[in-house]
């Protein structure tokens, strides 16, 4: 999951992406979906 930095337009959002991704950080809403943390996701992210 990435943090939304700001809403650019009605249907575009800028995300906080790592610099090494080397992709544009603004995405149309059709390319985004909400992240809902659950126990399985939390365990996986903490074990890294």
Locate 48 and state its tokens. 């890294």
Task: Give yes or no for residue 10 having a pLDDT over 60.
Answer: yes
Give the pLDDT of residue 45.
59
**Average pLDDT value for the chain:** 88
More confident residue, 43 or 25: 25
Q: How many CB atoms lie within 10 A of CB 38?
A: 7
């Amino acid at each position: 999951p990435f943090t939304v930095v700001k809403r650019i337009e009605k249907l575009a959002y800028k995300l906080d992406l790592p610099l090494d991704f080397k992709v544009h950080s603004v995405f149309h809403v059709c390319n985004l979906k909400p992240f809902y943390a659950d126990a399985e996701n939390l365990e996986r992210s903490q074990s890294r």
